[in-house]
Structure 1
Amino acid sequence: MARDFGLIADLIRIHAQQRPHSPALQDGKSALTYVELDALMDRVAVALQRDGLRAGDAVAICATPSVPYAAVFLGALRAGVAVAPLAPGSTPASLVRMMEDADARWLFTDASAAEVVGSARPGGIPRIALDGSQAGRALDDWLAPAGSRPDPVELQPASPFNIIYSSGTTGEPKGIVQGHGMRWSHVKRGAGYGYGPDTVTLLSTPLYSNTTLVVFFPTIAFGGCVILMPKFDAAGYLALAQRHHVTHTMLVPVQYQRLMAHAAFDAHDLSSFRFKFSTSAPFNAALKADVLARWPGGLIEFYGMTEGGGTCILEAHLHPTKLHTVGRPAEGSDIRLIDEAGQEVAAGEDGEVVGSSAGMMVGYHRQPEKTREAEWFSPEGKRFIRTGDIGRFDDEGFLTLFDRKKDMVISGGFNIYPSDLEAALRAHAAVADVAVVGVPSEQWGETPVAFVVRRAGDTTDADTLLQWANAQLGKTQRLAALRLIDDLPRSAIGKVLKRELRDLHARG
């Protein structure tokens, strides 16, 4: 860990030699110790090399999180083969585009993705079924014989580790190529968060998401055990956490919301927790405060991009007066704010967040123009990644985020941050969840509209909520409409899909 660069696959080999029978992976159906994981990784790596794949080639995985999924991912890394983990919820057309973009040589899948994979019919790409289903050739039949050892490969920090696709459900997918050096920086950061051989990490977010991987890989690198939960539900999560004496977890804010609202939350023994992490979506201050008050262990919020660049970290348990922020720049992260002209803003002013660090994507796969659009270079020539988020630093260096630049509403020439309006609505006792989007307006150019989920059993009507909210807001912020819905549309990692809300409004 003291090295500037190393390989996660090599660390697994060391754990297998030093603590062969320590648990590495569990999923409710199967489990592997480190010596078993190491041997299975070898069999995967040898099979890929036997089939003609070389370092820098790619395979795709489209499946539910499982022990075989994780073992194939890690085995491919041992062969120097990059992994493109894809969402089973993708449309068939998107799945084809992503596999073609990655130039995936093999597709590893399972029954959960059989329908989309079958509809996609990716031409000429052979399929391996991770679960023994009819989704493809059985994994056991494809693997190299037990005891096989792969040819060694030479890898550099820029060698592709994985390709994460940023828009696998709508729009043109962009493949974010993360190098082995970027993943190593995530592992080294884990040294400060109590990872070790006694770590038990419970993960209930998908393995195609960087949200999950930034905790999965440090756990494995430090010799801990990862418990994979194929699908999140609050009751099941709490039962697993108590039964396995879980020490670490990564959850997105909507999962924290559902857990804290669960009637049996306080009845569970969660005293084993050391650290809980969150990222991916806005995490409101009141929910953070509730987690701190009722759930043992530290609470860490990461703010950053899958593309990398800078990271901000909020150690919420150490800074309870800064829960409205996403923390301060992490060690080694250079975070700056720029205006529309690409100039750094003065202290105390709002600007787009850009970041630079050792953990940065190589680029968007085969899309150099998109890569250039995502980059900003400082006057001294230093490369930064643009986030598209608007923020402001306070006088102690903590970053407050306002909104995505693309989600900001410009109404009558005034900038309106949807997050401000959402925060106002959350103060009403009837509101369980809310999202505000900008919609076209002939009079103002754009105008804000709110979509509200009421608390269970509440009967407050939309007009009452609208009038109450507008009485709290400034004249230029007032909502044009408020609509009650049962649930906000969200991605698998909890991000509100505001494009779908705009479409819903347009349909009336």
Structure 2
Amino acid sequence: MLEHYDAVATLADIPGLHARATPEHTALIADGRHVSYAALEERSNRVANALIAEGLPRQSRVAMLGTDSESAYELLLGCAKAGMVMLSINWRLEEREIAYIVQDSEAELLFITPEVAPMVESFLPSCPRLKRIIVLDGSSERYPVYPAWRDAHSEQHVAGRVDKDQAVVQVYTSGTSGRPKGVVLSHGCFLDVIREVVRSGDELIHWRNGDITLLALPTFHVGGLWFGVHGLVNGATNVIMKAFTGAAALELIEKYTITKVAFVPAMIRFMLSEPGSRTANLSSVDQLVYGGSPMPRPLLERAQGLFKCRFTQNYGLSETTNMAVFLPSAEHLDPANPRLKSAGRPLRGVSVRILGPDGSSLPPGQVGEIAFKTAGHMLEYWKLPEETRKTLVDGWLHTGDAGYVDEDGFVYVTDRIKDLIISAGENIYPAELERILVQHEELADVAVIGIPDDRWGELPIAIVVRRPGSTVTKADVMAFARKHLASFKMLRTVEFVDVLPRNPSGKVLKRVLREPYWAGREKRVN
């Protein structure tokens, strides 16, 4: 709703806007607890005053580690009002990764849920900048508890200017290779692009009075944070999932008559596998936004059978604050529409270029690196100036994704640049092969990697997981692939595994899959 975007310049403005207009309207629901917009304004003011009372300078990092609740959004908005930066840490990471993020971010306060307390205590000595730990839910004999810490301070609005170009959020990349990087985002990153899209009348999310969203994606995921922020901007009631399961999502949609949902495809798979999906009443949902990875056509068709609503897709990165490219609902109406293979067109105000190896722009149809110019691009990678310079070049954000643009401006993402397989001088993109193999009805999961070959340089192989009870053979999979692939892209072999290694965000750890084949070699290209 344009009037809402015109009224908020920063995240700090959001709760007060609705506290004045509709104070008793419910902003957040978590585990059955309801928080009105008036209460959210009051609580976020208290959080801001509490943060300032801790003696933290502006732009200090404030970390949260644990499952989501209303407290996560109170902290986010409190940090926004106090001019500080919130980072929500993926609690599913290994202890060493969490310790690294706490150390790297130089967080001075850490808010935790009780179940992670023992782990935090084990790495606490390695985090000397950490001044205080506060427990969000439940009680603690060792640490202050959040409600008492928050409510000991004034509910009055915090004095002090908040600049839209200041950092407000730090999101850590999932770290599929190497250490995770802190992506620093400003208030304007979240709001400026979307304000212009709404002002133009272009399709995005069709917010209406009375909308109820399901916040199924966690706050440590940029997509989850983005969806939560814009639900609040538009005055929706936002139902927070502590942790996603397919069964719980179906139950909450029916219980609260959810109207707007955002999922990654893996979440939709989980919901479809639930027996309850056959009987759940999901008729209240009027729009489903998906992104994060490609949606295979068979899965999309099954999802459309479950959610009889508008489907829209977005493509972006943490570095573009989630949204850069959008595929509208009209493109989803015809299952044979070839544009369903695309991610959509760039949002208004977002420009795209496809770059060759020398940095020059490539014409439509040619595959290269996707680069964006957008007001939503990150400020920097935290404490990584060289990485920042490599990624942000003359105002263009280099995504590291390979793809092309067609004559009509639709963007097609083919793979990660680093996953490219070069065989006999030909470029092979694993994602293209994976999209074909995942259509085999007896395969549950698929990853394609390149392995070294002394004659051809590299050859593609598929590492696959059978569906339960399947007896599909290597020959069966190879024959299926042969029907759909050009000869130079043909798989060298197929390997069966029980499960593919994934990071906590669900991305396949291809470096783990590659390691046995590349071990002992100086380079990981051949």
TM-score (norm 2): 0.89
Moved more, 125-134 or 304-313: 304-313
Provide Cα deviations, 1:475-500, integer angstroms capped at 9, x if missing partner.
Answer: 32222231223333333433222223
Q: What is the correspondence of 1:21-170 to structure 2 with a 5 Å cutoff? A: 21-28=24-31, 30-121=33-124, 122-125=127-130, 126-134=132-140, 136-145=143-152, 147-167=154-174
Q: Distance in 1 between matches of 2:94 and 2:303?
A: 36
Q: Distance in 2 between matches of 1:76 and 1:455?
A: 46
Q: Could you say if the C-alpha distance between residues 169 and 287 of structure 1 is closer, same or farther in structure 2, counting changes exceeding 3 Å?
A: closer
Q: Distance in 1 between matches of 2:511 and 2:96?
A: 19
Moved more, 366-375 or 26-35: 26-35
Matched, 1:328 2:345: yes
Moved more, 459-468 or 299-308: 459-468
Which residue of structure 2 lines up, in the alignment, with residue 448 of structure 1? 460
Q: Distance in 2 between matches of 1:365 and 1:428?
A: 42
Which residue of structure 1 lines up, in the alignment, with residue 16 of structure 2? 13
Provide Cα deviations, 1:170-205, integer angstroms capped at 9, x if missing partner.
Answer: 622311110111111365357842224411111222
SS at match of 1:162: strand
Q: Distance in 1 between matches of 2:198 and 2:111?
A: 29
8 A contact 1:247–1:275 mirrored in 2: yes
Q: Distance in 2 between matches of 1:317 and 1:297?
A: 11
Q: Could you say if the C-alpha distance between residues 275 and 493 of structure 1 is closer, same or farther in structure 2, counting changes exceeding 3 Å?
A: farther
Which residue of structure 2 lines up, in the alignment, with residue 351 of structure 1? 368
8 A contact 2:62–2:87 mirrored in 1: yes
How many pairs were matched up?
502
CA RMSD of aligned residues (A): 2.4
Letter of the 1:12 partner, please give it. Answer: P
Which residue of structure 1 lines up, in the alignment, with residue 184 of structure 2? 177
Q: Could you say if the C-alpha distance between residues 148 and 239 of structure 1 is closer, same or farther in structure 2, counting changes exceeding 3 Å?
A: closer
Q: Could you say if the C-alpha distance between residues 231 and 155 of structure 1 is closer, same or farther in structure 2, counting changes exceeding 3 Å?
A: same
Q: Distance in 2 between matches of 1:250 and 1:331?
A: 21
Q: What is the correspondence of 1:248-263 to structure 2 with a 5 Å cutoff? A: 248-263=260-275
**Identity over the aligned pairs, expressed in percent?**
29
Identify unmatched segments of 5+ residues in structure 2: 520-526
Q: Distance in 2 between matches of 1:151 and 1:236?
A: 38
Q: Distance in 2 between matches of 1:298 and 1:496?
A: 29
Letter of the 1:183 partner, please give it. Answer: F
Which residue of structure 1 lines up, in the alignment, with residue 423 of structure 2? 411
8 A contact 2:356–2:368 mirrored in 1: yes
Letter of the 1:311 partner, please give it. Answer: A
SS at match of 1:323: helix
Provide Cα deviations, 1:437-477, integer angstroms capped at 9, x if missing partner.
Answer: 12233333322221222223222133432344245433322
8 A contact 1:5–1:181 mirrored in 2: no
Q: Could you say if the C-alpha distance between residues 471 and 392 of structure 1 is closer, same or farther in structure 2, counting changes exceeding 3 Å?
A: same
Say which of 330, 333, 339 aligns to 2:356: 339
Q: Distance in 2 between matches of 1:296 and 1:20?
A: 33
Q: What is the correspondence of 1:193-342 to structure 2 with a 5 Å cutoff? A: 193-308=205-320, 311-319=324-332, 320=334, 321=337, 322-342=339-359
Q: Could you say if the C-alpha distance between residues 466 and 88 of structure 1 is closer, same or farther in structure 2, counting changes exceeding 3 Å?
A: same
Deviation at 1:8, TM superposition (A): 2.6
8 A contact 1:89–1:169 mirrored in 2: no
Matched, 1:3 2:12: no
Moved more, 110-119 or 67-76: 110-119
